[in-house]
Structure 1
Amino acid sequence: MDGSQLKTDYPVVLRFEGLYPHQLGSYEAHRLRKGGDLSHVDRERTKLNGPPLIGPEDWASLALAEIREMTAKNFAAELEALEKRKRKKDIQRRLIEGPKQPWRPTRHGPMREVILTVNKDWFAGDLSNFFGEGENHREKEFGELAVGWLKENFGDDVIHARADRDEAAYHIHAVIMPRANVEIAKPGAKVPTATATRRMLQPSIHPLIKDYEAAQDSVGHWFKDLGLVRGERTAAASRDARENGEERPKRRYHAKTWKWRAEQEQRLLAERQALDLREEKLSDREGKVEEREAEAETVLAVAEGVVSGALVVETADDDAAPVLTDAPKVPDATLCEPTVETLRKRSPRGFARAANAFERAWFRLFGEARKKAKAEAQAKVTGAMAQIEKADAKIVEATRHLPREVRETIAGIRQTIPAILSRLERRNGGMQRDDDGSRDERKDRGDGEKF
């Protein structure tokens, strides 16, 4: 051997992964680099992978065909056993149910994928390239020992093995199809008697699959000539901690490369989404702060505009609601005061709040006073008109005893009274009416009546 015989502290890595027959198609697609996660594969080195180390190229299709044959033979054997026992109802039931898969339901599946490797730095420490030999001796010797260990412990149940050289570290993949003959006992019998023999996939028939620690011990011993050591005894450390009442060490999680990368992508995606959400919330918060600042500035600008006289509160007529508007511009003004339009654009909400406040204040200060003054003026005009009407009636009564020429002169003067009263009515809010709503007859009395 080369320098790989030197003792190192590199542990040999062994992992078992559960595998179902229906996954063999995707397994083969990834082996041939036609599917699956290929982001970590160096496609320029794929040609170095070479043919399978164990099994033919069509191993997957052969395995599936064998499983179908097992299924069919098991079904036929079961029906034959029921026929011998004359269990007609059971035969009818099983015919309806159809053939069953040749394994018991488990969490991991009836087959196993085996992965054997060492840290990439150990393979990179080979001196073959330095001496111009081309082939990596550590990879070659590791692969030969791996094939020997697989055949030694799993025999013909190792239906496939290959070496991958186009990923980060050289590693061996193998597939185990654990075949077993299971005797089916007659149910309810006092003395168990076999009624049929089934061919099943049963991983527990292999001691190294059944006992993971034993498998780690086995590879540690098998590869020791390469200077490799057994992996950490995490299971034993966990047992000891449990027995001593101590905190158990965290269990290491070995994920397939494609699964690990998918998990990392999901984690990165979640982090990006969380970051985007934080930025969105921060942006919304900043936008709300800017909006509140613009609102406060607008309220202050409206107040300053009212104080400076640039903004005034006006009404279109006495009965209209007051409105904040721009004051008439002074031609020689040097200050550029904000207008109603610019303030409204800056912050519609702030302008509305400020304008509403000043309009209400104006109405309280001046609106009620104007209404009161108007009511007082109307009362005075109404009283004056009543006095004029009363005086006019007395004039009419008095002139009845005067000569005709004098009455005609007075009648001409009285004709001007209705016009004066009409102007007063218009100023006072409209035509005056008597209590019963009828029009005043003073016009009829002043239409040139002859005394």
Structure 2
Amino acid sequence: MLRSSLMDGSNIQTDYPVVLRFEGLYPHQLGGYEAHRLRKGGDLGHVNCSRSDLNQTLIGSEDWAARALDEIAEMTADNFAAELASLEKRKRKKDIERRIVEGPKQPWRSTRHGPMREVILTVNKDWFDGDLSAFFGEGENQREQRFGELAKEWLIDSFGEDVIHARADRDELAYHVHAVIMPRAKVEIAKPKAKVPTASATRWMLQPSIHPLIKDYEAAQDSVGQWFSELGLVRGERRAEAIRNARKNGQETPKRRYHAKTWKWRAEQELRLKAEAEALAAERAELDERTGRVVEREDEAETVLAVAEGIASGAFVLGGDNDESALVEAPDAPPPEGSAIEDLRRRSARGFTRAVGIFGRAWSQMIGQARRNADARVSEAMDQINRADEVLVEATLQLPAEKQSQVARIRQSIPAMLRRLKRSEATLSSGFDETRAERSDPGDEEKL
């Protein structure tokens, strides 16, 4: 094999491992495999369909899957016929009847992985991207081309005609080769030993273990490492050997790597991303809720302060009770620096109610005290006026009639003076009893 001139330069990195994976495959899965190969089904989320025309068949015909299923069906029928013929030669009538009822059996033993194998060969995307063909105007990526050629040669050398299909995909993240192995094996039909020798019967089976590289995964890794070494590629990590040595030496064993199928990996990633998105949405909702509560408290505090500033500046006036309607804008007061009353109420109804309640109660207490003080002063003044009036009446009785009439006219103006006094104290004593201002006896004038 000749090395490409582009692969001999110093730009070649020798630490890129060639990747080899085996995946179990059942015949009934070939339909889905073909649908995905033709980009008509399966997981296409990672496929760049604009490059699908660049995919290339390396081994097999276009109808390879149908041919394989037909061959397996033929193997099944031939095996059933051969088994019945063997039983008939041995005159096992009951066994023949039983097998006819049971019908043909699948030409493989039940296993966890299936009777066929899908092979995947590739290298890290960066290695393919390091090719300089496009830079020199040579068109096709030389690393991809040579990798595909070596992959085809290795598959045929390792599995012969059992490689029924191989293709190179260029429409995904990295160039890679898919292949399908149908491991055909001819085995003898198991039968009890007979005294009279009879001709042996055989049947065709799908038996992956007939291929040493499927049976021994480490040997397969050694094989591809050596086969692709001319490209500067190396064997993958000797993980199984490291695990054995760790167990032998009583050390902690490295974790095994399990390669999930692309569709399964993507499904797991979608579930993970969905869970992360739901968790993030929950965190955002909680944050929004906390932010809303903070904003609400800030609005409430600002509203209380605005009401306090309005009352202090004289822009707002509180009435006698402590409900919301008690706060009004003063008609002659300068406009407040903040919002009007309705704006404050809309900003935070709770803050507005709290502010009016607090200041309303304080106002009521202040007015109540003022009223009590005013009532005491007015009551004392009225007592003094009444006592003075009584003295005046007694003194007037000693005056001549003309002077008595003059004093009587003066006494008649006292109730009006008291009413004016009451009005001047109305803001502090709205419950003042006007009758107290007219406590003088109207019959006193007659007494004069």
Superposition TM-score, scaled by structure 1 size: 0.62
In the alignment, does 2:25 pair up with 1:19?
yes
In the alignment, does 2:362 pair up with 1:347?
no
Q: Which amino acid aligns with 2:217?
A: Y
Give, in angstroms, the shift of residue 213 of structure 1.
Answer: 0.4
CA distance 1:47–1:304, shift in 2 (3 Å): closer
1:326 matched residue in structure 2: 326
Q: Distance in 2 between matches of 1:129 and 1:330?
A: 84
Q: Distance in 2 between matches of 1:200 and 1:220?
A: 30
Q: Distance in 1 between matches of 2:297 and 2:192?
A: 81
Give, in angstroms, the shift of residue 123 of structure 1.
Answer: 4.4
For residue 49 of structure 1, the aligned residue among 32, 47, 55 is 55
2:242 matched residue in structure 1: 237
CA distance 1:282–1:121, shift in 2 (3 Å): closer
CA contact (8 A) 1:186 1:194 kept: no
Give, in angstroms, the shift of residue 184 of structure 1.
Answer: 5.4
Number of residues paired by the alignment? Answer: 355
Q: Which amino acid aligns with 1:234?
A: R
Query: Unpaired runs of 5+ in structure 2?
Result: 369-448
Summarize deviations over 1:385-431 as a string: whole Å, max 9, x none: xxxxxxxxxxxxxxxxxxxxxxxxxxxxxxxxxxxxxxxxxxxxxxx
CA distance 1:328–1:217, shift in 2 (3 Å): closer
CA contact (8 A) 1:110 1:201 kept: yes
CA distance 1:222–1:359, shift in 2 (3 Å): same
In the alignment, does 2:67 pair up with 1:66?
no
Q: Distance in 2 between matches of 1:76 and 1:363?
A: 111
In the alignment, does 2:285 pair up with 1:274?
no
CA distance 1:214–1:358, shift in 2 (3 Å): same
In the alignment, does 2:92 pair up with 1:91?
no
Give, in angstroms, the shift of residue 30 of structure 1.
Answer: 2.6
SS at match of 2:59: coil
Q: Distance in 2 between matches of 1:324 and 1:143?
A: 85
CA contact (8 A) 1:11 1:231 kept: yes
For residue 294 of structure 2, the aligned residue among 284, 289, 294 is 289
Give, in angstroms, the shift of residue 172 of structure 1.
Answer: 2.0
1:228 matched residue in structure 2: 233
Give, in angstroms, the shift of residue 287 of structure 1.
Answer: 0.4
Summarize deviations over 1:287-307 as a string: whole Å, max 9, x none: 011223334455666778889
CA contact (8 A) 1:18 1:110 kept: yes
2:36 matched residue in structure 1: 30
CA contact (8 A) 1:311 1:324 kept: no
CA distance 1:326–1:223, shift in 2 (3 Å): same
Give, in angstroms, the shift of residue 326 of structure 1.
Answer: 2.1
Q: Distance in 2 between matches of 1:8 and 1:293?
A: 62
Give, in angstroms, the shift of residue 286 of structure 1.
Answer: 0.2
CA contact (8 A) 2:24 2:113 kept: yes
1:415 matched residue in structure 2: none
Give, in angstroms, the shift of residue 236 of structure 1.
Answer: 0.8
CA distance 1:132–1:187, shift in 2 (3 Å): same
CA distance 1:205–1:343, shift in 2 (3 Å): same
CA distance 1:306–1:48, shift in 2 (3 Å): closer
CA contact (8 A) 1:79 1:91 kept: no
1:160 matched residue in structure 2: 165
CA distance 1:8–1:313, shift in 2 (3 Å): same
In the alignment, does 2:176 pair up with 1:175?
no
CA distance 1:281–1:91, shift in 2 (3 Å): same
CA contact (8 A) 1:305 1:311 kept: no
Q: Distance in 2 between matches of 1:123 and 1:143?
A: 12
Q: Which moved more, 1:342-351 or 1:289-298?
A: 342-351
Summarize deviations over 1:197-234 as a string: whole Å, max 9, x none: 55433322322112110111112223334443322211
Q: Distance in 1 between matches of 2:348 and 2:166?
A: 74
Q: Which amino acid aligns with 2:152?
A: V
Q: Which amino acid aligns with 2:210?
A: I
1:117 matched residue in structure 2: 122
Summarize deviations over 1:426-451 as a string: whole Å, max 9, x none: xxxxxxxxxxxxxxxxxxxxxxxxxx
CA distance 1:325–1:100, shift in 2 (3 Å): farther
Give, in angstroms, the shift of residue 141 of structure 1.
Answer: 3.9
CA distance 1:100–1:286, shift in 2 (3 Å): farther
CA contact (8 A) 2:84 2:96 kept: no
2:214 matched residue in structure 1: 209
SS at match of 2:61: coil
Q: Distance in 2 between matches of 1:107 and 1:207?
A: 19
Q: Distance in 2 between matches of 1:134 and 1:327?
A: 85
Q: Distance in 2 between matches of 1:220 and 1:49?
A: 25
CA distance 1:129–1:188, shift in 2 (3 Å): same
For residue 317 of structure 2, the aligned residue among 285, 305, 310 is 310
CA contact (8 A) 1:129 1:135 kept: yes
Q: Distance in 2 between matches of 1:362 and 1:98?
A: 102
1:439 matched residue in structure 2: none
SS at match of 1:325: helix
1:372 matched residue in structure 2: none
